[in-house]
Structure 1
Amino acid sequence: MSRDPARPWLVLFGLALGMCVTNSFARFAYGLMLPAMKAEMGWTYAQAGWLNTANAIGYIIGSVLTMALIGRIGASRLFAFGMVTTAVALMATGLDAAMWWQTLWRLAAGLFGAMSFASSGTLAAQLFQHDARRNALAIALLFGFGGGLGIALSGAVLPLLLDAHGPTAWPRGWLFIGMTSLCFLPAGLWAARQLRPPTHEPPAAARLPVRRMLSLFAGYGSFGLGYFVYLTFLSAWMTELQAGAGLIATVWVMLGLCLCLSPFAWRPVFARFKSGVPLTMILTCISLGSALPVLMPGPVGLLLSAAIFGLSVFMSPGAVTNFIRHNLPLHSWGAAISLFTVVFAVAQTVGPYAAGWLGDRSSSIGTSLLVAAAVLLAGAALAATQKPLHPD
């Protein structure tokens, strides 16, 4: 077992900034700019959803590449490479409105972002290895604070920018996202260098007990299928409700702030359970958060939805990473996290396009939010059957 780096909390902060770039900016800022881009280019909901499906296809490719490369190249190098290339892809997204160009760079952002995402979980799991509570908090902070910071920054700036300058200002939004990503690079790259692989040859990775983890795979796949609908179409649904830019910004900032706080809410659960219980609880909360904007389509319902969804959504990868940390040996963590990421990535390719198609057919994207909530609830039931691999 390797030693912790000299300044583990600073290392974690750098990893979280990488998560901010490769997860929040690369995947979810698009949801804020979707209404403006849809209006400017005359897209249908299916076309708008396709771009996040392209992002998810790139995510599958990146996840598979990570599985193949993480044992040879190492998690720290993959994390750094993914962070740099994702920042470039985000800058390029704002340069041309053509659908083929948007598809190319949404796919690239997913591909490179997946490399960094899967690697960051492996790196964070190495922190505080002799302290289970701090280790659980570090994993939760990586996903919660890293994801929440990006959504809060995007939510505070993009709706007001687009409201002030109109739908044609969407390229400026991508420029803001790209420049912010470049500013985060130095800290993220420094953090990756602090967690180098051990100098001795690691033991060969044990064969993963995939059959014994099928319930967790199914629950995590349901998460991938359902959660992306909310983050893709929340702003579009609020636009259907004729919500102003101020309310949209407030809801997204609430979402981001609750994401930042979510690690503290879930840390005791992660530290206590070695089974699928944490993922079950998280998916149930995400399901409720996804349904509330339709069931309570007013400011109170929207803010309550953002709070519940934000306090839960990015804890799903944290719950899976925590399960792996409790149940598998260290030298299997990278392969296991990569495999879960592939399952998640395959599932989420279906969500945005299918939700957009359903929104076009029903003339309301709210229908898609309710269907996503049902999928997430089914995933919670599946994850509940996951037992620890090595019960005490």
Structure 2
Amino acid sequence: MTDNPANPWLVLAGLALGVTVTNGFARFAYGLLLPAMKSELDWSYAQAGWLNTANALGYVAGAILTMILIRRVRPTHLFAFGLVTTTAALLVTGLVTALWWQTLWRVLAGVFGAMSFSTAGTLAAQLFRDDPRRNALAIAILFGSGGGLGIVLSGAALPILLGQQGYGAWPWGWVLIGGTSLLFLPLGLWSASRLHAPRKSESMAIPLPLRRMLGELVGYAAFGMGYIVYLTFLSAWLTEQQATPLFIATIWVILGSCIFVSPILWRPVLARHASGRPLAMILAGIALGSALPVIMPGPAAPVISAVIFGLCVFMPPGAVTSFARQNLPPESWGAAIGFFTVIFAIAQTIGPYAAGLIGDLAGDIGISLLVAAGVLVSGAALALLQRPLDQD
């Protein structure tokens, strides 16, 4: 293994495919299947939201487990293990319709996905270590392009599948995304084998300056709580508005395509600022995208919303990874990114179930999108207060 692989962009592509599986598929494809599962299994919005809360609870456990294991196990091994097991969890989710089975595999997909996702940033940070601009681009591509590809693929396929075969075909949706994940495994595992990131115990442990990082931490928590509402309930809201399967697919493809190109937009911002400004700007964009479908009438609103939301939503992980890289020594990057992931994961558990309850009480899931936008705006304001650590 080497710190400077001969094909760094190919290595990055493999890491990004890992994010496609652990984020684009394991976390967000459920939002596309939710209307069918809710209808076929006679769920309330709260029950439908519960499955993504279950996934988020698993993500908390996985993030904490990763923080413990990172002291003894190399990030490369954690990334590879998480990628393989997440793929397996996706494949078996559709085998049984019972809520307990769905909950079990949503939890395990969260556990395993967190292990792979939270180490992917640490691995990508090893690329182009002597070139800050390329390093920032690599981090942005990892989170933006990886997740965007997953949403484009699932968004293009799943609504059309359900439209043609009926809502009863939702189990085949899980098989489809699990099978696609299998195709991505070889390059993802090869990329992990090309990189060396030290165990935390190989370097002197340096405590994280958490109090001085408070603005970034709270802003990232608001991101976890707010963004997931849109991705969980967007298809359900569009279905309530009598949108056709083709229109829903189009919206998700636009959303994923914008996620895919978002690193180009945010690369110079991430490279230029060591403060909380990039995270604040990104959260403001996510908030606007979340609110637009509800506050702006007409079919153009979901399209504009998908563009704005997509250009921003996968960039907070890149923002906090870049923040850690610019403000902390290399031996602290893994611990810092892991801690950010835990904070994010805990906050993420609140969003889906709470949004489902609000939707049930209001009789309109659109109200939940507005509440989520308010949470995101608050997080943006707090992140804006974060200064570079060397200026504190």
Distance 1:297 1:236, change over 3 A: farther
| 1:82-101 matched pairs, under 5 angstroms | 82-101=82-101
**1:367 has 2:362 as partner:** no
Partners of 1:287 and 1:374 within 8 A in 2: yes
Q: Give, in whole Å, the separation in 2 of the partners of 1:65 and 1:150.
A: 25
Please list the CA deviations of residues 124-181 of structure 1 after superposition, one character each: whole Å capped at 9, or x if unmatched: 0111000000000000000000000000000000000000011100011001000000
* Cα distance in 1 for residues equivalent to 2:5 and 2:388: 30
CA 1:198–1:56 in structure 2 vs 1: closer, same or farther (change >3 Å)?
A: closer
| Alignment pair present for 1:4 and 2:21 | no
- 1:306 aligns to what? 306
1:42 matches 2:54: no
Q: Deviations over 1:214-242 (max 9, x none)?
A: 11110000000000000000000000100
Give the Cα–Cα distance (whole angstroms) in 2 for the partners of residues 248 and 5 of structure 1.
Answer: 41
Give, in whole Å, the separation in 2 of the partners of 1:41 and 1:378.
Answer: 36
Work out the percentage of aligned pairs sharing the same amino acid: 65
Alignment correspondent of 2:271 = 271
Is the contact between residue 31 and residue 231 of structure 1 (CA under 8 Å) also seen in structure 2?
A: yes
* CA gap 1:169/1:201 in 2 versus in 1, 3 angstroms: closer
Aligned to 1:120: 120
Whether 1:329 aligns to 2:329 is yes
Q: Distance in 2 between the 1:156 and 1:230 partners?
A: 18
Q: Which moved more, 1:19-28 or 1:290-299?
A: 290-299
Which moves more between the two structures, 184-193 or 66-75? 66-75
Q: Is the 8 A contact 1:241 1:297 kept in 2?
A: no
Task: Find the aligned partners of 1:232 and 1:220 in 2 and give their Cα distance.
Answer: 18
Tell me the CA shift for residue 198 of structure 1. Answer: 5.4
2:205 partner SS? coil
Give the 3 Å change call, closer, same or farther, for CA 134–196 of structure 1 in structure 2.
same
TM-score with structure 1 length normalisation? 0.98
Q: How large is the Cα RMSD of the aligned pairs?
A: 1.3
Distance 1:297 1:33, change over 3 A: farther
Checking the alignment, whether the CA contact within 8 Å between 1:20 and 1:149 is kept in structure 2 is yes
**Separation in 1 of the partners of 2:376 and 2:243?**
26
What do residues 57-104 of structure 1 show as CA deviations (whole Å, max 9, x unaligned)? Answer: 000000000000112101100000000000000011110110000000
Match of 1:338 in 2: 338
Q: Summarize deviations over 1:213-270 as a string: whole Å, max 9, x none.
A: 0111100000000000000000000001000011100000000000010000000101
Q: CA deviation at 1:297?
A: 4.0
1:145-224 correspondence to structure 2 within 5 Å? 145-197=145-197, 202-224=202-224
Specify the code of the residue in structure 1 equivalent to 2:182: L
Offset at 1:199?
10
- 1:77 maps to amino acid: H
Q: What is the match of residue 25 of structure 1?
A: 25
The answer on whether the counterparts of 2:3 and 2:195 sit within 8 Å (CA) in structure 1 is no
Q: Which residue of 2 aligns with 1:81?
A: 81
Q: Which residue of 1 aligns with 2:281?
A: 281
Residue matched to 1:231: 231
| Amino acid in structure 1 at the alignment position of 2:144 | G
1:355 pairs with 2:369: no
Q: C-alpha separation between the residues in 1 aligned to 2:64 and 2:311?
A: 29
In the alignment, structure 1 residue 380 sits paired with structure 2 residue 360: no
CA separation in 1, counterparts of 2:212 and 2:272?
20
Contact 2:70/2:199 (<8 A) preserved: no
CA drift of 1:196 comes to 2.2
Classify the secondary structure of the residue corresponding to 2:389: coil
Paired AA for residue 206 in structure 2: A
Letter in 1 for 2:127: L
CA distance in structure 2 between the aligned counterparts of 1:200 and 1:28, rounded to whole angstroms: 31
After the TM superposition, list the runs of 4 or more consecutive aligned residues in structure 1 that deviate by more than 4 angstroms. Answer: 198-201
How far apart are the structure 1 equivalents of 2:384 and 2:198? Answer: 36
Deviations 1:103-138 (Å, cap 9, x if unpaired)? Answer: 000000000000000000100011100000000000
Alignment partners' CA distance in 1, 2:339 and 2:58: 15
1:29, 1:151 within 8 Å by CA — same for their partners in 2?
Answer: yes
Amino acid in structure 2 at the alignment position of 1:147 = G
Counterparts of 1:93 and 1:135, CA distance in 2: 36
Task: Give per-residue Cα distances to partners, 1:182-221, cap 9 Å, x unaligned.
Answer: 0000000000000123599832221110110011110000
Quick check: 1:247–1:299 contact (8 Å CA) kept in 2?
A: no
> Paired residue for 1:240?
240
SS of 1:97's equivalent in the other structure is coil
CA distance in structure 1 between the partners assigned to 2:230 and 2:183 by the alignment: 28
Q: Which sections of structure 1, spanning at least 5 residues, go unmatched?
A: none
Indicate if the aligned counterparts of 2:143 and 2:314 stay in contact, CA closer than 8 A.
yes
Question: What secondary structure is seen at the aligned counterpart in 1 of 2:202?
Answer: coil
| Equivalent position amino acid for 1:22 in 2 | T
